[in-house]
Amino acid sequence: MTKKYFGTDGIRGAINSKYINGDMFFKFGLASGTFFKSQKKIKQTAIIAKDTRLSGYTLEPALVSGLTSAGMHVYTLGPLPTNGLAMLTKAMKANMGIMITASHNPHYDNGLKLFGPDGMKLSDKIEKKIENLIDKGIIKNLSRPEKLGRVKRLENGTKKYLKILKKNFPKEFNLRGLRIVIDCANGAGYKAGPELLKSLGAKVIAIGINPNGMNINQNCGSTYPNKIKLAVKRHRAHLGISLDGDADRIIMSDELGNIIDGDQIIAALATRWKNKKMLRGGVVGTLMSNYGLEKFFKSEKIKFIRANVGDRYVKENMKKNNFNLGGEQSGHIILGKFATTGDGLLVALEVLFALRKGRKASSFFNKFKKTPQILENISVKNKSIIKNLEVKKSVKKAEKLMKGHGRILVRESGTESKIRVMGESENKHLLDKCINIILKQIK
């Protein structure tokens, strides 16, 4: 389904660009508010959270104005992890939840992610309906003065979220005796992350907790895992936790300083859940999941399905196949038993719960040997270059050479103006050759 505004994970782009500006966010608010109000629920409410970008102060009022103009009552939560918003949307029985964030992108980008009353990200079908409302001239949907919505700030959103998180574990569960480093990327989890770990008794070394509106994801967080690796070694920590800008991703470091990506976290959790008879059905990965993970699951007799990139598509496949575990190499991991979307802090708790009897992180992780992988992200003016005849020919040529020795994947980024070229093979020379064949035609 071709969409005009929404990508694989909401809407995202440079602030004050074509779609990411006050005028458009008013329209997004009015259109989404109009759509959900039409679902004939008695209580018409929306809740809004955000990360720490300076542009949030520009976009949030516009979004609130659009929602209240549609007749929705709005609660604003301030900085909160994305899954905190999803959980509170469901717990508060709101019609919808909106997260203002550009996730792992730099500070000059922003966007939004929309959630339904079940705490699930909206389907392509609903997003398309909201787009249609925008394009059909939504001003006619403005409410009469007496029907306008009201706005209220909730100051206890973080406490409510942490309470829901901790309810998923036994009351006696604690982290006393553990030294944990957490990198909050100067983002949405800068309060919730350290507060959660300290409340459970851990000695916490927190970095990336001084947001200034422009340092979100700047040389920190899950896109810069070397920072957590060095911090774990420096502080002799038992574990390192690295979040992204909206805290729905997690990359970890074991006590030896080994960087643990999403695939390795998923492998460890799947193995544990299978042994505890907690794993339902199998695991959903994505087109980007390492081939070594697929081979590992095959050896463990764990069913593995690849979905399109984006944790929304992972969740849809989990629901369709009745699986309760899925995620991405980038660290979006969905624990279906507890959550409807990725949550770095929830995954961290599940890992820490597995280590609670003194097991070392290095023995829990590193379940499989990764197949060598190259990923090139090429910035382009127009992503439609992927449909260029010469580019298509180069991809076919590379796939033909790689057949039987690995795999090639070329796709548009759903959130940035980039083409992503990925290849995997044990044959490094062949891998380099195939990637370069494609890159020459795109660059």
**Catalytic residue positions, numbered:** 103
| Residue indicated by tokens 């706005």 | 151
H helix or E strand, kind and range, residue 46 = strand 45-50
Partners of residue 46 on adjacent β-strands: 74, 96
- At 365, list the tokens: 């992780």
Q: How many CA atoms lie within 13 A of 130 on its CB side?
A: 33
Question: What span, in angstroms and rounded, lies between the C-alpha atoms of 361 and 359?
Answer: 7
Nearest to 243 by CA among 104, 349, 355: 104
Give me the helices (H) in 102-182, please.
124-135, 157-166
3-state helix, strand, coil in the chain (%, to 5): 40, 20, 40
Q: How many CA atoms lie within 13 A of 295 on its CB side?
A: 11
Nearest to 231 by CA among 195, 180, 307: 180
Distance set, CA 217 to CA 221, 267, 311 (Å): 6, 26, 20
- At 29, list the tokens: 């608010």
Quickly count helices (H) and strands (E) in the chain: 14, 18
Inter-axis angle of helices 262-275 and 291-299, nearest 10: 10
Exposed e or buried b per residue across 409-439, where buried means at least 16 C-beta atoms within 10 angstroms of its C-beta: bbbbbbbbebbbbbbbbeeeebbeebbebbb
